[in-house]
Amino acid sequence: MNILESVRNDINSPDKKTRLDAASRLGEACKDGSLKRERSEEVNNHVHTTYSYSPYEPSAAALAAWEAGLGIVGSIDHDSIGAANEMLDAGARIGIATTIGFEVRCGFQDTPFANKKINNPDSEGIVYMCVHGVPRKAIDEVDEFLSPIRRVRNERNRAQVEALNRLVSNSGLQPIDFDKDIVPLSRWDLGGSITERHILHAFAQKILDHAPEGEPVVSFLENNLKLTVTGKIRSFLLDTQNPHYIYDLLGILKGNYLPRFFIQPSREETVDVRKVVTFARSIGAIPAYAYLGDIEESVTGDKKAESFEDAFLDELVSYLAGIGFPAITYMPPRNTKAQMERLQNLCKRYGLMEISGVDINSSRQSFNCPQMLEEGCAHLVDSAWALVAHEKLTNHNSKWDLFNPENPFSSKTLEERLHLYANLGRKMDPFNPSSIIDEADMLLKKEK
């Protein structure tokens, strides 16, 4: 067994020490030259881990990004910062730059957009937003902020499981037990969150416990659950050698059942957007509105054609800037060129940083995103490197926060600051992230 095969076996282990030891072995092989990789310009700041829903432990996510040739990998989990320390440690051992953050539903109920579907397919007046570039020293503070949200969400999760059990009570399946079937799928005991995808995963597992993969599953879906199974998803589910089987099964269940058992989050669970922005800025992180855009055809296959914020985007971006958002994040594979150009122009008008990443939460998804390197998107790579620099430097000195009025380069435009920080990020030794501090000190002396 070669070093890479050995690392792959261990790096997604349930045991954190085993995972990080595997990352160390990989890093040592890279340092001594016995293992090499081709690194592209691609980056991804938005990889989910087992701390929300994903097949990847944080170390395994770092390895998958490394194998894909990415220069940067970032962990983002729903209502959780639990993956952050391991992601930072694994990245430094493997030799890949890292960034950390979290994703949260926030309330727009007391804004001019309260009665609109903004970027959330499930709810009006509730928005998904990301908080990027969390300084490591603030991880515990973030967990304290998110813990009550997870607790309230779990009350809703339990009610949703009861609703799902009622829906399938005549299907022949055993009922789903929240504590026995769903909690063990999560990292709840380590500060992870439990999401609707965990519920759907448990639902999918109940089907697999009842009917073997292949024709029996398809027959069960069609005859017992009265679902229509056609096209690509049918071929996936008929393939008994499909390594992504449970994720493909989850996908069809999500489209057909989530709207039927979903319970709207309460105001207690969806903290007011201004409170989230204020908290994020208080710790030196970068809150970013997550642009979705009208969907004509879902790239990921689990969203229907639907209209979102495009009809009122100008007013929305103006409002976001007015309440203190410094950034907007978006995903190039999900949007048309026209959508991105419009959004980019609005970001320039209001002085907002553009951040991008493609959310990974299934083994079927590729870590590569060549659209990031296309014309009109290449600047997002520089933004990612600037984000890495911001995070490491703010952790060292809060005044180095890209948006701190006391930043040594605050007299420069945002574009100029992003350029400076991107260069610092690229110069950083990924095996020794603190090396960026010396680079920043030298830059400051040169600028003076």
Statement: residue 232 has pLDDT above 80: yes
User: What pLDDT score was predicted for residue 10?
Assistant: 95
**pLDDT tens across 21-40, in order?**
999 999 999 999 889 888 99
Confidence class of residue 306 from pLDDT cuts 50, 70 and 90? Answer: confident
Paired tokens of 430 = 């990924």
Q: Which tens digits make up the pLDDT trace of 268-285?
A: 999 999 999 999 999 999
Residue range 208-219: average pLDDT? Answer: 97
* pLDDT at residue 411 greater than cutoff 90: yes
Residues in contact with 172: Cβ distance below 8 Å, sequence separation at least 6, in sequence order:
210, 224
Q: What is the mean pLDDT of residues 313-322?
A: 98
pLDDT given at position 444: 78
What is residue 26's predicted lDDT score, i.e. its pLDDT?
Answer: 95
pLDDT at 304 over 80: no
For the chain, domain boundaries: 1-33, 149-261
Q: To the nearest whole number, what is the mean pLDDT of the chain? A: 94
From the CB of residue 341, how many other CB atoms can be counted at a distance below 10 Å? 12
Query: Does residue 299 register a pLDDT over 60?
Result: no
Task: Average the pLDDT over 223-228 and give the result.
Answer: 97
| Least reliable range by pLDDT among 49-58, 216-225, 232-241, 437-446 | 437-446
In which band, very low, low, confident or very high, does the pLDDT at 369 lie, cut at 50, 70 and 90? confident
Please tell me the distance from the alpha carbon of residue 62 to that of residue 24, in angstroms, as a whole number.
12
pLDDT, position 448: 57
Overall average pLDDT of the 89-118 stretch = 97
pLDDT in tens, 330-352: 999 889 999 999 999 999 999 99
Backbone φ and ψ of 159, nearest 5°: -65, -35
CB atoms within 10 A of CB 314: 13
Condensed to tens digits (0 to 9), the pLDDT of residues 41-95 reads 999 999 999 999 999 999 999 999 999 999 999 999 999 999 999 999 999 999 9
pLDDT at 6: 87
CA-to-CA distance for 361 and 340, rounded, in angstroms? 23
User: What's the burial of 406, exposed, middle or buried (CB within 10 Å: 0-12/13-18/19+)?
Assistant: exposed
pLDDT of residue 303: 54
Burial (Cβ within 10 Å: 0-12, 13-18, ≥19) of residue 189:
exposed
Note the pLDDT of residue 1.
61
d(CA 402, CA 301): 36
Residue 297 binned pLDDT confidence (cut-offs 50, 70, 90): low
Contact between 56 and 49 (Cβ < 8 Å): yes
For position 300, what pLDDT does the model report?
Answer: 45
